């Protein structure tokens, strides 16, 4: 985003009225230049800025913009030592895309990308992730593992555990994990995770862990999401800070990747169970065009899920199937 627009946004972020004259002074431009920049903010970022004669311009609600100093302040010394680079962007096609284009060359060293807005955010199998400027948290972290790519399957579950634990730490209650990695409140999706792996079959391999958390989804935008969704403004009893959550998430993801490197999924299995929302419940899995009904019996030590069918129990892996609670279709 150009510096003038960035500056204007920072002025408006408090959600209060700012007169055209005051903004023009702060930016060192004319009032008509301010008006043009306001129009660009609306057109490019989808922000609904109200203009009231005699009072000025304001955003519908305050925006807590991402701030790398505030994010870094939440990192432990160990995480700071491990963090190779962190980039905070206003807008990008996809933070996973940025991370994939700049993979770390050494093991045990994280690179992190955050953005206020993604224009081409994606989910598994190319599905679309609906975005809005400043209303979500998008973090992608790249990490190189000295292990074969095939052993990184469980990493989606690790990321899910970390997100669920951080949300609980910050005061959210009643949320659950849906295998392999969605975070739901009730049956509504609050956060999605996308892990993309690349590398040699026998290692090393690099994973990009992408996390999206809904802070606020405007109704009109929610109408574009084709499954039940929620956001923290609706689901959380406390107001959470995006910068604080970003810092804690990065800190815990770094720690989790280190632990996964040496111990694989084992330390995370019990932590997953604490949040597993579907154990013992009727579910349906979709395998291509086929659907199979059964009872969800939790996860295996390698991160697969166990489905109990009339003929017995079978294990399925995240790359091949999607899971739905029976009745959600
Ligand atoms: P799976 O169980 O296979 O992971 P999924 O439908 O949850 O299935 P993902 O690839 O994890 O799929 O996420 C993409 C889906 O998430 C989209 O198809 C859409 O239904 C939903 N979605 C998109 N944007 C949002 C959002 N901002 N909040 C909640 N859900 C969203």
Residue 165 · residue 159 · CB < 8 Å: no
β-bridge partners, 196 = 208
169, 153, 97, 152: which is closest to 129 by C-alpha?
97
Q: What is the pLDDT of residue 274?
A: 96
Q: Catalytic annotation on 10?
A: no
Q: Say if CB 59 and CB 13 are below 8 A apart.
A: yes
Q: With a 6 A CB cut-off, is 191 part of the ligand 1 pocket?
A: no
Q: Is the C-beta atom of 222 inside 6 A of ligand 1?
A: no
Catalytic residue among 216, 244, 324, 325: 324
CA distance 305 to 178: 11
Please report how the helices 31-45 and 20-27 are oriented relative to each other, as an axis angle in degrees rounded to 10.
90
18 within ligand 1 shell (Cβ under 6 A) = no
Q: Residue 123 Cα, ligand 1 centroid: separation in angstroms?
A: 6
Predicted confidence at residue 327, as pLDDT, reads: 64
- What pLDDT, on the 0 to 100 scale, is given for residue 31? 94
Residuewise pLDDT in 10s, the chain (329 residues): 678 888 899 999 999 999 999 999 999 999 999 999 999 988 888 788 999 999 999 998 899 999 999 999 999 999 999 998 999 998 899 999 999 998 988 888 899 999 998 988 877 777 777 777 898 999 999 999 999 998 998 999 999 999 999 999 999 999 999 999 899 999 899 999 999 999 888 879 999 999 999 999 888 888 989 899 999 999 999 999 999 999 999 999 999 999 999 999 999 999 999 999 899 999 999 888 889 999 999 999 999 999 999 999 999 998 778 888 876 65
Asked if residue 127 has its Cβ within 6 Å of ligand 1, the reply is yes
Q: Does residue 218's CB lie within 6 angstroms of at least one atom of ligand 1?
A: no
CB contact set of 49 (below 8 Å; sequence gap of 6+):
12, 38, 41, 42, 57, 58, 59
Is the CB of 123 inside a 6 Å radius of any atom of ligand 1?
yes
Answer yes or no: are the C-beta atoms of 213 and 190 closer than 8 Å: yes
Whether residue 136 contacts residue 249, with contact meaning beta carbons closer than 8 Å, is answered with: no
124 is catalytic: yes
Q: Which of 129, 159, 324 to mutate to test the pocket of ligand 1 (most atoms within 8 A of CB)?
A: 129
**Would residue 127 show up in a list of annotated catalytic residues for this protein?**
no
Predicted pLDDT of residue 120:
87
Of the candidates 136, 189, 252, 297, the residue annotated as catalytic is 189
Confidence at residue 197, expressed as pLDDT on a 0 to 100 scale: 94
- pLDDT value for 328: 65
């Amino acid at each position: 985003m150009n510096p003038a627009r960035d500056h204007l946004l920072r002025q408006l972020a408090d959600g209060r009225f700012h007169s055209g004259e005051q903004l023009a002074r702060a930016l060192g431009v004319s009032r008509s230049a301010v008006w043009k920049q306001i129009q660009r903010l609306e057109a490019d970022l989808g922000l609904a800025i109200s203009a009231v004669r005699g009072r000025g311009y304001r955003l519908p609600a305050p925006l807590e913009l991402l701030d790398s100093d505030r994010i870094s302040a939440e990192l432990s010394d160990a995480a700071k030592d491990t963090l190779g680079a962190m980039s905070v962007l206003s807008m990008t096609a996809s933070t996973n895309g940025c991370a994939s284009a700049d993979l770390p060359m050494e093991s045990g060293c994280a690179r992190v990308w955050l953005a206020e807005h993604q224009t081409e955010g994606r989910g598994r199998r190319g599905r679309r992730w609906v975005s809005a400027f400043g209303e979500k948290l998008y973090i992608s972290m790249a990490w190189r593992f000295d292990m074969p790519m095939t052993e990184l399957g469980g990493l989606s579950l690790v990321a899910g555990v970390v997100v669920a634990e951080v949300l609980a730490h910050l005061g959210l209650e009643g949320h659950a994990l849906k295998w392999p990695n969605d975070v739901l409140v009730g049956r509504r999706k609050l956060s999605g995770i996308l892990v993309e792996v690349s590398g040699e079959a026998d290692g090393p391999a690099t994973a990009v862990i992408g996390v999206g958390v809904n802070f606020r989804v405007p109704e009109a935008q929610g109408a574009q999401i084709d499954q039940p969704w929620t956001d923290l403004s609706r689901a959380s009893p406390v107001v959470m800070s995006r910068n604080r959550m970003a810092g804690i998430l990065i800190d815990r993801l770094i720690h989790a990747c280190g632990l996964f490197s040496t111990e694989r999924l084992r330390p995370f299995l019990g932590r997953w169970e604490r949040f597993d929302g579907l154990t013992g419940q009727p579910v349906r899995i979709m395998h291509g065009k086929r659907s199979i009904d059964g009872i969800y019996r939790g996860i295996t030590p390698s991160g697969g899920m166990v489905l109990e069918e009339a003929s017995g129990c079978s294990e399925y892996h995240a790359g091949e199937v999607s899971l739905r609670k029976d009745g959600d279709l």
